[in-house]
């Protein structure tokens, strides 16, 4: 049985299989460096490394921000950027 979940990109209603962060259309808008960070964080989380859930949330939000910027979603970019900043500082 395959489980499906929603694409993590803002305002996307596409569904993706479990283990994928975004639909292909949005994932392709994530810069390669951030894609690599998402994969690394996902692997760490699967191994249940300390702090990996927090790291995963940070990298997933960073990817979400990159897509919102690429799509010009100027109404939500500032709040996503603030979330990333605060997570990087350990405030979230």
Would you tell me which residues interact with Zn ion (CB under 5 A)? 7, 9, 12, 14, 23, 26
Count of residues making up the chain: 92
Can you tell me the distance from the alpha carbon of 92 to that of 88, in angstroms, rounded to the nearest whole number?
8
Q: How far is the CB of 22 from Zn ion (least distance, A)?
A: 5
Q: With respect to Zn ion, which residue has the nearer C-beta, 63 or 84?
A: 63
CB of 32 closer than 8 Å to CB of 46: no
Q: With respect to Zn ion, which residue has the nearer C-beta, 24 or 54?
A: 24
Q: How many CB atoms lie within 10 A of CB 4?
A: 10
Percent of the chain that is helix, strand, coil (3-state, to 5): 55, 5, 40
Q: How far is the CB of 69 from Zn ion (least distance, A)?
A: 15
Q: With respect to Zn ion, which residue has the nearer C-beta, 24 or 53?
A: 24
Q: How far is the CB of 54 from Zn ion (least distance, A)?
A: 24
């Amino acid at each position: 049985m395959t489980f499906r979940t929603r694409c993590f990109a803002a305002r996307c209603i596409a569904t993706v299989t479990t283990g994928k962060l975004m639909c292909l259309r949005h994932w392709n808008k994530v810069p390669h460096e951030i894609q690599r960070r998402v994969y690394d964080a996902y692997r760490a989380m699967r191994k249940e490394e300390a702090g990996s859930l927090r790291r995963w949330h940070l990298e997933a939000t960073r990817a979400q921000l990159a897509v919102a910027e690429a799509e010009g979603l100027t109404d939500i970019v500032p709040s996503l950027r603030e979330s990333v900043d605060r997570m990087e500082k350990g405030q979230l």
